[in-house]
Amino acid sequence: MTLTASNNPMNLDSTVIQFQASIIALATKRLGRPLTDLEQSFVTRHEGFLALEGIHDMVCTLPISALQH
């Protein structure tokens, strides 16, 4: 991947952090409770966009009962 001035590593780090935060917020809203440390770390330990997109899709589409496990 070639980084341009507007797509530097600092911007990528910020984008990853924002994506992780949006996933956590969505999961919190869907579950109706704060995430446990373990649940939150599942999101924050992933930094690749493909992994985060998969987690986001899972949070959006799985039934609440499946998210709780």
> In the prediction, which pLDDT does 1 show?
42
Does the residue 4 lie in any domain? Answer: no
Residue 24 resides in a domain: yes
pLDDT value at residue 30: 96
* Residue 37 located in a structural domain: yes
- Does residue 53 lie in a domain region? yes
Contact 52, 20 (CB under 8 A): yes
Tokens of 31: 């579950």
> Quick check: 27 and 43 in contact, CB under 8 A?
yes
Q: Which two tokens stand for residue 30?
A: 């869907």
In whole angstroms, give the CA distance from residue 69 to residue 66.
Answer: 6
Considering the domain boundaries, does residue 7 fall inside one?
no
Count of domains for the chain: 1
Q: Is residue 6 part of a domain?
A: no
Determine the pLDDT at residue 2.
43
Q: pLDDT tens-digit profile of 9-57?
A: 556 788 999 999 999 999 999 999 999 999 999 999 998 999 999 999 9
pTM value is 0.81
